[in-house]
Structure 1
């Protein structure tokens, strides 16, 4: 049995457990409980830091990384964007991992900007900031993710339509019938640079700040240890990135495994269908998230 078939079968079984047998709810429950426990531990570490206890800062930042990790383990929109984009677009794994890292850190910076803009310009407290993040920014972020899914779906349809109706003779990179390449080579994929795509991916994730980062930044502001909170929020982003980067590599592995199952002549058409499937999946899931958040 070929390894791509094994990989695709394992991913299919995982998806079935995740969506049909309550796997998503089990993971979400674990993540919520773990986040609450880590938040309590962070509050204790902050009190120790304020009191000058040795090792309190290292403990706080370690907890920040742990919070970002368990936050990312639960079903979330960051993994949805990275996974959908990576599966539907032939972007190299390292570049997609870089986008995942950049998006997680940008999400932390959004939390910093929201907290200090709210504090100094509007005089808001934790409840108001969390309300804006959950009631306004969350639906907006999910709606933008839905647009990303629609964008991938329509792009896949557009790529599928001009896929040549004639037979591609031979397995060379250029079609002997029309003189066109039916799919990008690995070297070509490595040189693709689209700032528009990168901004879309990062922006849809960064729009909604992490609630844990808001919690940390507000407490550190009140305790007058602002620098520890900002650094902690960024470390929290690194914890989140540890999961989203893995999702990036998994998405690329799924995509390339699928492409290994087809001949070179069918790569362009297969990529278009993968893009349509990824876009449709992202659109459906994002729509569900929007409905849950309003």
Structure 2
């Protein structure tokens, strides 16, 4: 019964992937998300005008719309989901930690948007078009390239684990990955997947957060022009929380899929090899997709 429960996320994930890429589901989701973003953006502009006119009650409407915009923005094709999902499948990350990384990466996008807009306004005297151009033509490809490097790292790391595991597969192993000679040959399941360093977290958050949401940039510019800067900043943060609501859900699905797949091997050296294969596949997927997105954004 427990094994059947663990298999369920894997089955659901595979079914979702087939629908998205095999039956045109991705195009439908993208169109739905784009329309939702347009509707929310138009309504946000109206709420900003109400705030500018002194209507304090418009605060709740503005923040609600900003959250909705962030949700629709994340629901469409995006690099945050790609990295969080690929990393969660490729490495054995505690669920709470991956969810925290998803939240941090989304909030980092808001920080980047604020930094870009106010540096552009006060330091470089950039206009709206220039700031959006920097976000979309410079920071977006840079973010995709950074994500591709994370994918390459996952791929190489998984290949290294797989090579060591297969090099010593002839030894008699115990469940902990050691052999009768008293030494360990190749990674155990825990060694193959555990996140141990702050470096991993920084790389993930920075690669996603370096590219601000264009909607947040526009909101911040409008807020500054209308002299309601705090409304723009608060709205950008809430947009990031809306984005995080989707990426955190992806994190939960990714961890559930990985644990469900590894549950079939019941631990030991076989599970460690399976974990290495999963890491290789996840890294390759992230590398290929992020590279394609980087090239298309140039």
| Other-structure match for 1:36 | 38
Residue number in structure 2 paired with 1:279:
283
RMSD: 1.8
- Ranges in structure 2 where 5+ consecutive residues have no aligned partner: none
In the alignment, is the contact (CA less than 8 A) between 2:9 and 2:253 conserved in 1? no
Aligned to 1:226: 229
- Give distance in 2, aligned partners of 1:147 and 1:283: 7
Query: In 1, are the aligned partners of 2:102 and 2:244 still within 8 Å (CA)?
Result: yes
Q: In the alignment, which residue of structure 2 is the partner of 1:4? A: 6
Which one of the candidate residues 92, 112, 120 is aligned to 1:118? Answer: 120
The answer on 1:67 being equivalent to 2:73 is no
Deviation for aligned residue 1:123: 1.1
Structure-2 separation of matches of 1:148 and 1:106: 17
Q: Distance in 1 between matches of 2:174 and 2:201?
A: 35
Q: How far does the alpha carbon of each residue in 1:105-143 deviate from its partner, in whole angstroms, 9 at most, with x for none?
A: 011000000000001111111111111111111111111
Cα offset, 1:183, TM superposition:
2.2
Distance 1:116 1:293 in 2: 24
1:204 aligns with 2:207: yes
Asked if residue 268 in structure 1 is aligned to residue 272 in structure 2, the reply is yes
Is 2:256 the counterpart of 1:253?
Answer: yes
TM-superposed deviation, 1:96: 0.6
Pick closer, same or farther for the CA change 1:52–1:257 going to 2, 3 Å: same
Inter-partner Cα distance in structure 2 for 1:223 and 1:97: 35
Q: Which moved more, 1:107-116 or 1:47-56?
A: 47-56
Please name the residue that 1:182 is paired with. 188
Query: CA offset at residue 7 of structure 1?
Result: 2.9
1:268 CA drift (Å): 1.3
The count of aligned residue pairs is 290
Unaligned runs of 5+ in 1: none
Cα distance, 1:22 vs. partner?
1.7
Query: 3-state SS of the aligned residue for 2:223?
Result: helix
* CA apart distance, 1:167: 5.0
Tell me the alpha carbon deviations over residues 88-116 of structure 1, each in whole angstroms, 9 at most, x when there is no partner.
11110000111111110011000000000
Change (3 A) 1:135 1:14: same
Q: Give the whole-Å Cα distance in 1 for the aligned partners of 2:26 and 2:171.
A: 43
Q: Residues 168 and 261 from structure 1, CA distance in 2 versus in 1: closer, same or farther, beyond 3 angstroms?
A: farther
Distance of 1:54 and 1:183 partners within structure 2: 55
Moved more, 80-89 or 15-24: 15-24
Q: What's the offset of the Cα at 1:253? A: 0.5
- Aligned with residue 81 of structure 1, among 75, 80, 83: 83
Q: What are the residue-to-residue correspondences of 1:126-141 with 2, within 5 Å?
A: 126-141=128-143
TM-score (norm 1): 0.93
Q: Which residue of 1 aligns with 2:295?
A: 291
The answer to whether structure 1 residue 165 and structure 2 residue 169 are counterparts is: yes
Taking a change above 3 Å as real, the CA distance of residues 179 and 210 of structure 1, as seen in their structure-2 partners, is same
